[in-house]
Structure 1
């Protein structure tokens, strides 16, 4: 039996010397050391040995098992190392190759204009407030002193959801909500999307963005309004641009004016871009808050006065960045956006 054990050891070590992968190594382990392996089969015959022979054969069997197990463990580590080295060679990175260029995103010109305007007004002491895009007829028209026969109330001009609910046509409804929920002094601006049945052309869209501002306090007058408008226009466009205030009519302000800015190309001298007038397009509308609007919001017009202004953010972005078609702001064309 001793000779048989030595033969098992020699044959097992010979086979282990030819092993090429881990699967083959495991098969040899099972063949010789498993529960039904050759070494186990020999040891089952130890019951027929004398008491003197059993310790000797048992020691030899342990030496054989230990020799085979040690060699199997050594080979397992060697084979694992070979697998790792082969994997490293297959997956190695050539650091001399040029890397892939990562395209960086750009801020949308409209978003840049909104952030810039909000920052300007915050430095002037205004709060930034928000309001819903789906509004009531009362907040959008009635509270703003809009006559029932005003053209803007027609279904041809406004998107109605029900008889009393609509998509807001301006962000002035946010001013109503602010005056109803705050006590003077009030100094706010709001930005957001608005909706009207406008034909789509280079300067008009059914969905566009507005910024509205409101100041309500004691002794507020037209001089305060003009100074505020002049200040923020010069902050966003530069000190070289002059402004022009023209009388106008809005139901929610009295008196009301429209504001023009000097042509960006000729700075008021007259050129082809401005048709020789020296003035760019109308930039915004403003005026003193109508006493009826104050009264509708629970503010005494005998004690308080205020001014309000509203401007198209899309138009600001177009003027500031020289964009000649409003549709470019909403088409998400990468070629357009990468210019900014």
Structure 2
């Protein structure tokens, strides 16, 4: 058995010295030292040896195992170092090369327009007010002179959660909440930006979710001319100093009188083109004098105070400002579209 062990040692050393990679090395380790390996097979015969022979053969077996393991460890370390050197060579970095510029994000065009509108009205002395997007029917409709079963509710196809809760269809409820919080104090001068929700996604200029900014002013002696002057100042700062506006009679339950506001076409300046359908005008928002009932429900004496309100769709303003034809571009997350605004 001793001779077999010595022969196995010589055979293993010869084969181990010829290995060229870690895979072959592992195969030989299993072949000679594994549970079913050659060394284990030989040592299983120790049971047939005499008591005097067993220690001797056991010591020889340990020496053979140690010799084979020593070579395997040496080879494994060699292959590991070789692999490390190859990886370092392949992954080395030329520190003299210029760095790769990181792509920077940019403010979304809708956010830019909201911030611009806010800046304009803050400059006019307004403050920003906010309210919940899940709103009570009372604030969304009833306090705005739209009692239950009022036909004008059909103008806004709503997402109801319960009979008395819905996703707000306008930011006007914030105006009511502001009036309540002011407890009859004046002046009131706020704008209310936020998301609103309506089942209105039939074409490229509408979406079930969009952004509105509404404004409210209450005080003594507030007149329609104050409203027109405010909106003229806003549109000139938003679209350019030569912008003109016109007010067309309209109907909103929460204002009386009410008007739609048009601006001279941002494309042709009013001369007529495809964008304005050759009229020279583009509709941008609705407005009017706050209805006396709305003032009363908000806690204001309509005999003593008057006010005006206006509301605009942010997407509508952005479409006109940037010459965009499809509102869905704002929500598609297409980098080709969004990167255009990183330079503005």
TM-score (ref. length: structure 1): 0.71
Deviation at 1:301, TM superposition (A): 0.5
SS of the aligned residue for 2:258 comes to: strand
When residues 156 and 142 of structure 1 are mapped into structure 2, their CA distance, relative to the original with a 3 A threshold, is closer
Deviation at 1:316, TM superposition (A): 0.5
Distance between the aligned counterparts of 1:261 and 1:149, measured in 2?
Answer: 34
Deviation at 1:272, TM superposition (A): 2.6
Distance between the aligned counterparts of 2:155 and 2:255, measured in 1?
Answer: 24
Q: Is the CA contact 1:152–1:158 (under 8 Å) kept in the aligned structure 2?
A: no
Aligned ranges 1:111-190 → 2 under 5 Å: 111-151=111-151, 153=153, 157-182=157-182, 183-190=185-192
Q: Unmatched 5+ residue regions in structure 2?
A: 1-87
Distance between the aligned counterparts of 2:166 and 2:274, measured in 1?
Answer: 41
Distance between the aligned counterparts of 2:155 and 2:239, measured in 1?
Answer: 37
Distance between the aligned counterparts of 1:260 and 1:151, measured in 2?
Answer: 26
> Out of 266, 272, 275, which is 1:273 matched to?
275
Q: How many residues align?
A: 255
For each residue in 1:265-306, what CA deviation from the matched residue of structure 2 results, as whole angstroms up to 9, or x when unmatched?
A: 2111112322221112x1000000000000011110011110
Q: Is the CA contact 1:200–1:206 (under 8 Å) kept in the aligned structure 2?
A: no
Distance between the aligned counterparts of 2:337 and 2:132, measured in 1?
Answer: 30
Q: Is the CA contact 2:152–2:253 (under 8 Å) kept in the aligned structure 1?
A: no
Distance between the aligned counterparts of 1:155 and 1:263, measured in 2?
Answer: 26
Distance between the aligned counterparts of 1:217 and 1:273, measured in 2?
Answer: 38
The equivalent residue for 2:332 is 331
Deviation at 1:149, TM superposition (A): 3.0
RMSD over aligned Cα, in angstroms? 2.2
When residues 92 and 188 of structure 1 are mapped into structure 2, their CA distance, relative to the original with a 3 A threshold, is same
Distance between the aligned counterparts of 1:121 and 1:99, measured in 2?
Answer: 43
Q: Is the CA contact 2:156–2:169 (under 8 Å) kept in the aligned structure 1?
A: no
The equivalent residue for 1:66 is none
Q: Is the CA contact 2:289–2:306 (under 8 Å) kept in the aligned structure 1?
A: yes
Distance between the aligned counterparts of 2:227 and 2:277, measured in 1?
Answer: 29
Deviation at 1:92, TM superposition (A): 6.6
Q: Is the CA contact 1:211–1:312 (under 8 Å) kept in the aligned structure 2?
A: yes
SS of the aligned residue for 1:148 comes to: coil
For each residue in 1:79-104, what CA deviation from the matched residue of structure 2 results, as whole angstroms up to 9, or x when unmatched?
A: xxxxxxxxx99987422223223111
TM-score (ref. length: structure 2): 0.70
Q: Unmatched 5+ residue regions in structure 1?
A: 1-87
SS of the aligned residue for 1:288 comes to: strand
The equivalent residue for 1:207 is 209
